[in-house]
Amino acid sequence: MSKLMRYIVFFYLVFMGAQWLLRNKSYTISPKEFKSIASKAHGAGSSSAAVTKLTNELRRVYGVAIDAEATWNPLFLGNLDLKILLLHASITEYSGVIAAPYAESGRVGLHWTNSTCTVLSGSVSRSTDSSGFANKETFAPGANFRHGQFESYVYSFTADTYLACYGRGVVPTSGVWTILSGLANGEPLAAGNLFKDYFRGVFQNTFAAVSQVFRHYKQKATGRSDL
Ligand SMILES: *[C@@H]1O[C@H](CO)[C@@H](O)[C@H](O)[C@H]1NC(C)=O
């Protein structure tokens, strides 16, 4: 086998292994529940009321897995200047509110995540690469759309569009685009802020998961719980 062939086989096996793990691992957030919470939040009145309602309800259901003190960060995707309020972050899941302050359009890039987004306010329209211009979809407040892994779309947002999104996959791979786009926009520090918040979330959620497993076995070994 040539060297190139060996690399291709190796990456294919790593990719298939990762896909298998992603299909079989357990997840913190249920997409069905997320969609139901997001669609209830969209009717809250203003977009800031919707964001508060979404955060509170997710916090009530998922506890400390939801960052109640999350702050907005710039989210650079290609030429799109978006903002994100990251509510949950781990290696394989993310959840947050993504907002477009101005009317803008562009590609969001290729992502190794399946995302589901509910429009809280404003509107989103998109066109996929795999069909002609006839296939343009538009989503109004309350509507939900899926952006599957490795799918390409050109998106267009009206001013003050807020989306509640949840996704599963290999989330850090999307970090590559946001960092590169941040650099291309001459904003390395702003792009770095999101990175910092993302890894803080990953650390906290991993720590919470590990201590839960630890408590479980401790309780089994000693026959009593800490409660
Ligand atoms: C993403 O969606 C595809 C196609 O529906 C599926 O095969 C894959 O397992 C999904 N990945 C995750 C992490 O849920």
pLDDT at 192 over 60: yes
Q: How far apart are CA 223 and CA 227, in angstroms?
A: 12
- How do residues 147-191 score in pLDDT, each as one tens digit? 999 999 999 999 999 999 999 999 999 999 999 999 999 999 998
Q: pLDDT tier at 220 (50, 70, 90 boundaries)?
A: confident
pLDDT in tens, 3-38: 999 999 999 999 999 999 999 999 999 999 999 999
Q: Closest residue (by CA) to atom 6 of ligand 1?
A: 23
Nearest to 79 by CA among 105, 113, 110, 112: 105
The closest-lying atom of ligand 1 relative to the alpha carbon of residue 22 is: 13
**pLDDT tens by residue, 89-115:** 999 999 999 999 999 999 999 999 999
In the chain, what are the helix, strand and coil shares in percent, each to the nearest 5?
45, 30, 25
For residue 135, what pLDDT is reported?
A: 80
- Between 75 and 217, residue with greater pLDDT: 75
Is the CB of residue 149 below 6 angstroms from any atom belonging to ligand 1? yes
Atom in ligand 1 nearest the alpha carbon of residue 149: 1
Query: Where does the pLDDT of residue 226 fall: very low under 50, low under 70, confident under 90, or very high at 90 and above?
Result: low
In percent, the amount of the chain with pLDDT more than 70 equals 96
Q: What is the pLDDT of residue 224?
A: 66
CA-nearest of 164, 207, 186 to 70 is 164
CA distance linking residue 109 with residue 149, whole number of Å = 10
Tell which residue, 91, 74, 89, has the closest CA to residue 190: 74
Dihedral sign (CA 68, 157, 36, 111): negative
Ligand 1 pocket, mutate which of 16, 20, 23, 112 (most atoms under 8 A from CB): 23
Whether 142 and 149 have beta carbons less than 8 Å apart is answered as no
For ligand 1, is residue 170 a contact (CB within 6 Å)?
A: no
pLDDT in tens, 104-159: 999 999 999 999 999 999 999 999 877 666 688 999 999 999 999 999 999 999 99
pTM: 0.90
Q: Which stretch of 72-76, 171-175, 177-181, 209-213 has the lowest confidence by average pLDDT?
A: 209-213
Q: How far is the CA of 115 from the centre of ligand 1 (A)?
A: 10
DSSP state of 149: T
Task: Give 116 Cα–ligand 1 centroid separation in angstroms.
Answer: 12
Query: Checking DSSP bridges between strand 72-77 and strand 124-128, what pairing results, if any?
Result: unpaired
27 CA from centroid of ligand 1 (Å)? 13
